[in-house]
């Protein structure tokens, strides 16, 4: 292990220059939208986490300032301030102005690290209109200022300091980013994740203008993560966890089954969330299925599949490896081939040992998996039966679907409309070229409480699956989706909100890739129609309606409050809710999968107390309530 004295400017190696970053920022941070903006924060935090993983940092503080800047402060060793022998500039200036410069390329300084392979903090500097860095190191305080990747001042010694660490404060450049407004909740979700993955490190986030503040510190590490994920579910046994090192790779895994029907797996490499999985996840799944099958065949002759052993499992897999290779569209899939065998062998050995010592746990797990296998068989029969009736057939569409003329999924829009009455208005008012209408009758099945066989028995859901064309479960294929805009259109009342939530639950649990691709939307029908003389105007909230009534006065005015879509004629529905020129659509995005899972479990699951507590906590936020 390195010591504080070993970490100096000599540890920093440089691979390339910084010129292309401002020209093509997407190559370095993914996008210039909100995700790219947040990526800047993660890059700086990753540097602090590298210090924590090396054993030198215990506290990280992120502050969203009123002036639009964000600061990240840690109590690590501080960026080296000495002059680099080759480049003849300080270590601080080097890492801030040279691409691929950092201690991550010196294996003696960091055995493993996250971040963008060392491009991080210089890219943050390049895409900031202003950046200030402050280093406390060897009892001295140093500062330096930069703008758009260039230095404004030289590194200056400002006096003594008793603490140690680095503070980076930056202002993202409006010329580069579509928005420079940070989202507290999105950043908070990622920082919570990082805290779970780095046992004992305290991470704070504050937002000055709202005074919101979160503090994350988990001494249980990923065991605490699994307990958090299963908080509102019914766990079937204690958390099984192990942390092993093999061939220089650290394997940290925690898992626990619950009585739900969903798999909940989070995998990480050097704290990077590998949302597309990879070789470490494949190794885990292969070992899990084999080990549980070995025990199951002693009890029952049934052969369990991957799908059977994953029902109701919550797993966090965190591996830390010296040289990760990422692949996939978003570079979030681990490609190191050796990790499959390494994780497989570790998981096999550890699970076998645990189950030998805890026979009650393996008995409970096998019973759960066997029930899942029986349900899968029932689901297959239900699927076949549904197909024989003509549904779920890729070559035939449901009778009540009014399809669009376009066969290009990128152009097509599918409206999932509450009720036949509104469906009739939508069919009459739509643009047939690109808008398809599927009326849904009543409230669909709550899939949070149902296995797949029950889903195939629900007519409204099977109609929806057939219309969408991408299949479900093991047959799901997003490339076969018939529409790239799926729009939920329900009444603006309590029943409409409930139906919308049931549909969202279905998409989140069984077609999550459609949400991740950005295909799912919620229509915003107006709440009010204001008529004054011959002039008609629509309003989507009461506050804007009231503002208009100051302006124009109440004389000769009439107000209609829409409770349902069926109250609008086809022309009104088109004009307000379906015309791409005038309508407002809310895109459903997945910014915090952990929090989303928690909310769906609370609102739609079996446990009453968490739901009651949630309603009591959030009652004051209700805006439109039908009594």
Residue 384 among the catalytic residues: no
Q: Tally Cβ neighbours within 10 Å of residue 258.
A: 22
Among candidate residues 335, 323, 346, the one with its CA nearest the CA of residue 251: 346
Q: What are phi and psi of 415, to 5 degrees?
A: -95, 120
Q: Which of 93, 448, 491, 597 is catalytic?
A: 491
Gap between the Cα atoms of 256 and 217, Å rounded: 21
Residue at token pair 């908080």: 231
Residue at token pair 């093991």: 474
Gap between the Cα atoms of 185 and 113, Å rounded: 25
Q: Are 425 and 570 in contact (CB under 8 A)?
A: yes
Q: Are 99 and 17 in contact (CB under 8 A)?
A: yes
Q: Are 408 and 370 in contact (CB under 8 A)?
A: no
Q: Which of 495, 537, 592, 606 is catalytic?
A: 495
Q: What are phi and psi of 582, to 5 degrees?
A: -105, -25
Q: Are 242 and 217 in contact (CB under 8 A)?
A: no
Strand order in the sheet with 520-523: 435-440, 413-418, 485-489, 520-523, 585-587
Q: Which of 106, 457, 493, 591 is catalytic?
A: 493
207 forms beta bridges with 64, 212
Residue 448 among the catalytic residues: no
Gap between the Cα atoms of 416 and 441, Å rounded: 10
Q: How far is CA 542 from CA 545, 551, 559, 562, in A?
A: 5, 15, 11, 12
Q: Which of 311, 418, 460, 575 is catalytic?
A: 418
| 405 Cβ contact partners less than 8 Å away, ≥ 6 residues apart | 432, 433, 434
Q: How far is CA 170 from CA 40, 94, 337, in A?
A: 9, 17, 38
What's 284's DSSP letter?
A: H
Residue 575 among the catalytic residues: no
Residue 495 among the catalytic residues: yes
Gap between the Cα atoms of 359 and 298, Å rounded: 13
User: Residue 459 in 3-state DSSP?
Assistant: helix
72 forms beta bridges with 62, 168
Q: Are 322 and 338 in contact (CB under 8 A)?
A: no
Catalytic residue set:
418, 491, 493, 495
């Amino acid at each position: 292990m390195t010591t504080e004295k070993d970490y100096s400017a000599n540890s920093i190696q440089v691979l390339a220059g910084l010129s292309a970053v401002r020209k093509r920022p997407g190559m370095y941070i993914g996008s210039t939208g909100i995700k790219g903006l947040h990526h800047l924060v993660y890059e700086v935090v990753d540097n602090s986490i590298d210090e924590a993983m090396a054993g030198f940092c215990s506290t990280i503080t992120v502050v969203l300032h009123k002036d639009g800047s964000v600061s990240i402060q840690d109590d690590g060793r501080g960026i080296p301030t000495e002059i680099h022998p080759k480049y003849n500039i300080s270590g601080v200036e080097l890492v801030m102005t040279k691409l691929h410069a950092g201690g991550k390329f010196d294996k003696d300084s960091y055995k493993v690290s996250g971040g963008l392979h060392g491009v991080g903090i210089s890219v943050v500097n390049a895409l900031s209109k202003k950046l200030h860095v402050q280093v406390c190191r060897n009892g001295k305080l140093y500062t330096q200022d930069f703008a758009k990747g260039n230095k404004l001042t030289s590194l200056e010694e400002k006096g003594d300091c008793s603490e140690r660490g680095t503070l980076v404060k930056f202002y993202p450049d409006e010329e580069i980013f579509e928005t420079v407004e940070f989202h507290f909740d999105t950043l908070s979700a990622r920082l919570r994740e990082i805290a779970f993955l780095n046992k004992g490190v305290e991470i704070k986030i504050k937002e000055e203008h709202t005074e919101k503040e979160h503090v994350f510190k988990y001494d249980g590490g990923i065991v605490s993560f699994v307990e958090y994920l299963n908080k509102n579910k019914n766990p079937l046994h204690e958390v099984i966890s192990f942390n092993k090192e093999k061939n220089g790779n650290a394997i940290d895994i925690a898992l626990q089954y619950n009585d739900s029907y969903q798999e909940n797996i989070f995998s990480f490499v050097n704290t990077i969330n590998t949302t597309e999985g990879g070789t470490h996840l494949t190794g885990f799944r292969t070992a899990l299925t084999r080990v549980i099958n070995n025990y199951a065949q002693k009890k029952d002759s049934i052969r369990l599949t991957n799908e059977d052993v994953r029902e109701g499992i919550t797993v966090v897999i965190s591996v830390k490896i010296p040289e990760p290779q990422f692949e996939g569209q978003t570079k979030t899939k681990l490609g190191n081939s050796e990790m499959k065998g390494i994780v497989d062998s570790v998981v096999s050995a550890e699970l076998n040992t645990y189950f030998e010592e805890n026979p009650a746990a393996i008995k409970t797990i096998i019973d759960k998996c066997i029930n899942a296998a029986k349900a899968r068989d029932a689901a297959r029969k239900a699927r076949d039966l549904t197909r024989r009736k003509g549904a779920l057939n890729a070559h035939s569409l449901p009778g009540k679907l009014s399809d669009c003329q376009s066969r290009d999924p990128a152009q097509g829009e599918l409206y999932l409309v509450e009720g036949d009455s509104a469906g009739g208005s939508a069919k009459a008012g739509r643009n047939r070229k690109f808008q398809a209408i599927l009326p849904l009758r009543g409230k669909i099945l709550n899939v949070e409480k149902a296995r797949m066989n029950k889903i195939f028995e629900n007519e409204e859901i099977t109609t929806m699956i057939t219309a969408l064309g991408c299949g479900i479960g093991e047959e799901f294929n997003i490339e076969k989706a018939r529409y790239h805009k799926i729009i939920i259109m329900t009444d603006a009342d309590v029943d409409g909100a409930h139906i919308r939530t049931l549909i969202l639950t279905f998409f989140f649990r069984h077609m999550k890739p459609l949400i991740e691709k950005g295909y799912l939307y919620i229509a915003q029908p107006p709440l009010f129609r204001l008529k004054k003389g011959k002039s008609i105007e629509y309003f989507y909230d009461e506050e804007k309606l009231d503002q208009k009534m100051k302006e124009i006065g109440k004389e000769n005015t009439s107000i209609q409050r829409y409770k349902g879509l069926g109250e609008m004629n086809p022309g009104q529905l088109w004009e307000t809710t379906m015309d791409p020129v005038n309508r407002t659509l809310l895109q459903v995005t997945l910014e915090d999968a952990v929090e989303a899972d928690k909310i769906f479990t609370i609102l739609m699951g079996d446990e009453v107390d968490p739901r009651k507590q949630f309603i009591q906590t959030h009652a004051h936020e209700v805006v439109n309530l039908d009594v």
